Structure 1
């Protein structure tokens, strides 16, 4: 039981660090301005609603926090790769 909790805690901490990186990359993109910044702002707002609905649905249908966090981590990593190019 303790090891499962520790793994979840480490995964949550890793996700938090990755999210901060994505937030910093997005702020840099927004600071540049132009069409790319506008597109990124729209994408950012739209992603929030989708991510919330997806996580809520996973939990409401009996899914685990681990499953919801894995999906969020996947999205964050994709955003990090896209914004790092």
Structure 2
């Protein structure tokens, strides 16, 4: 239905919301800000390992982008719930 770049464009747009929410939480500081910085680093590392594994086992780049979008959606939900 959509071209192969659609998922990438949507990921970029959706990720901007997470960046905004995380920056606000970090700017507030305190324990929540520190926890957000720590989770941000660990999430990036685990997501890159997951993406590498998917590609090495024959997964498509589109599948990797779709999985990243799931992670971004989960972060948006978590950060807007508080």
TM-score greater than 0.5 by the shorter chain: yes
Given candidates 70, 73, 78, the residue that maps to 1:77 is 73
Which runs of no fewer than 5 residues in structure 1 stay unpaired? none
Q: Which stretch has the larger CA shift, 60-69 or 29-38?
A: 60-69
Normalization by structure 1: what TM-score?
0.89
Name the one with the larger helix percent. Answer: 1
Q: What's 2:18 paired with?
A: 22
| Mapped partners of 1:84, 1:12: distance in 2 | 23
Asked whether 1:33 is paired with 2:29, we answer yes
Which runs of no fewer than 5 residues in structure 2 stay unpaired? none
Q: Please tell me whether Structure 1 or Structure 2 has the larger radius of gyration of its CA atoms.
A: 1
Deviation at 1:30, TM superposition (A): 0.2
Bigger RCO of structures 1 and 2 (CA < 8 A, at least 6 apart): 2
Q: Deviations over 1:1-57 (max 9, x none)?
A: xx66x1x21111011011111011100000000001111110000001100000011
Moved over 2 A (4+): none
